Amino acid sequence: MAQLREMTTGPSLPLIFSFTLPLLLGNLLQQTYSLVDAAIVGKFLGINALASVGASTSVVFLILGFCNGCCGGFAIPVAQKFGARDYVTMRRYVSVSLKIAGVMSVIIALLTSLLCAFILRTMQTPENIFQGAYSYLLVTFIGVPCTFFYNLLSSIIRALGDSKTPFWFLLFSTILNIILDLFCILIMGWGVTGAAVATVFSQGVSAVLCYFYMYRKFDILKTEPSDRRFRPELARQLMYIGVPMGLQFSITAIGSIMLQSANNALGTACVAAFTAAMRIKMFVMCALDSLGMAMATYSGQNYGAGKPGRIWQGIKSASLMMIIYVAVVAALIWGFADKFALLFISADETEIIADTALFLHFNVSFFPLLGMLSILRYSIQGAGYTKLAMFSGVSEMIARVLVSVIIVPLWGFVGVCVGDPTAWLFANLFLIPAFIYVYRRLHVIVTKER
């Protein structure tokens, strides 16, 4: 039987750290997908092809963010029932979530595939990169079921306290993705479409491996026929938690789409700089996302066990780890941002390299805000208050829209650079009082139950 871990006893810092580490490695591998795609496309196919991949980044985040958010939300009742040791209901949640995922992922794939051209036109995608952007986006949307199922299965495994198993499958998938990238682009000559095909196929393989391993090795998940029956009451609860969590990502992405649309209007060079900078930023912020994901499981299990005091201990431990990490990353980015840009851009593209470094300098300076956002938001979600966490996404959206409409037209690419930090600030202004409310609410619930 694979190793499961309860996070309801013991010192919080080593528990969260050891759980976060495999999550971080896994997230780094997922970002390696994006880095490899962008690096190979930028180096072998040129700046226009790199801009084609990046022109729809925010739209991809809108759709895949919704899917990934739903998956994380579906896993929260699993973590809560695991913490409460109600394994029968836990298995039934797992079974129902797989059925819901199958229906949702196919519907999303169909709708988004049909709307690709409309989306890119709405985002003011430059004509010289439109066809490449369309091909990349279409293949990505067709592959939504692969992404949906991998994220759901890995979220369920993490909910049981095992953050290592999804990492090993992702490691295999990343290596496969690199090989397929080179094959599809250099040998088959499929251009940016080949990069998308490689990523989707690799995630599909990872999802299949995850599924078979999970049901063969986790005895606690082995079901009886009655467990596999569709239960509308459990489906409603999963949707009640999962959909707001998915919408939170999508609402955040709407602001990002507005910001990217404003950046697209600045021309191909700004799109290329934005693409390179976002790939680097997403890579270095993996640790903050991983820490937040660990807090979702930690918070969910301790909520299920009726131990809200341990959630506050976890917040303090996670914040300490976040501050140390941010200090190290800030030093690296401030010292070597232009060198990192050379992964995607030729050395003679000096203007694009300078803009890439400028974007990174602005963003990394405000990473403490992003770190606190991740810790608080995921902790609130883990306790089941996903609707409340969703409103932090609304705050981010409002901030990015204001920057896109007011600041970017005045400041140009500098305005694009301040978009994310402004959104993080707005989100934290909501999340801090929201967490205080949730924490007090949990204490009241536990007191009543006793």
Q: What is the mean pLDDT of the chain?
A: 82
- Whether 139 maps to a domain, the answer reads yes
Give the pLDDT confidence score for residue 309 in this predicted structure: 84
Is the pLDDT score of 261 beyond 80?
Answer: no
- Whether 3 maps to a domain, the answer reads no
Give the pLDDT confidence score for residue 341 in this predicted structure: 84
- Whether 4 maps to a domain, the answer reads no
- Whether 337 maps to a domain, the answer reads yes
pLDDT, mean of residues 186-204: 81
Q: What is the pTM of this model?
A: 0.71
- Whether 168 maps to a domain, the answer reads yes
Give the pLDDT confidence score for residue 52 in this predicted structure: 60
Is the pLDDT score of 367 beyond 90?
Answer: yes
pLDDT, mean of residues 221-249: 81
Is the pLDDT score of 121 beyond 60?
Answer: yes
- Whether 143 maps to a domain, the answer reads yes
Give the pLDDT confidence score for residue 221 in this predicted structure: 77
Counted domains in the chain: 1
Give the pLDDT confidence score for residue 352 in this predicted structure: 87
Give the pLDDT confidence score for residue 447 in this predicted structure: 62
Is the pLDDT score of 46 beyond 60?
Answer: yes
Q: Which of 75, 78, 66, 251 is nearest to 144 (CA)?
A: 66
- Whether 217 maps to a domain, the answer reads yes
Is the pLDDT score of 51 beyond 70?
Answer: no
pLDDT, mean of residues 171-177: 81
pLDDT band of residue 448 (cuts 50, 70, 90) is low
pLDDT tens, position by position, 10-44: 888 888 888 888 778 777 766 766 666 666 666 66
What separation, in Å, do the N-terminal and C-terminal C-alpha atoms of the chain show?
34
Domain span holding position 76: 12-449
Percent with pLDDT over 70 in the chain:
90
Give the pLDDT confidence score for residue 371 in this predicted structure: 94
- Whether 155 maps to a domain, the answer reads yes
Give the pLDDT confidence score for residue 1 in this predicted structure: 43
pLDDT tens, position by position, 66-119: 888 888 888 888 877 887 788 888 888 888 898 998 898 899 999 988 888 887
pLDDT tens, position by position, 403-441: 998 999 899 899 999 999 999 999 999 999 999 998 888
Q: Looking at per-residue confidence, does 91 or 217 come out higher?
A: 91
Q: Looking at per-residue confidence, does 223 or 303 come out higher?
A: 303
Give the pLDDT confidence score for residue 155 in this predicted structure: 84
Is the pLDDT score of 206 beyond 60?
Answer: yes
Is the pLDDT score of 7 beyond 80?
Answer: no
Is the pLDDT score of 200 beyond 80?
Answer: yes
pLDDT, mean of residues 325-344: 89
Lowest mean pLDDT across 337-346, 371-380, 390-399: 337-346
Give the pLDDT confidence score for residue 433 in this predicted structure: 93
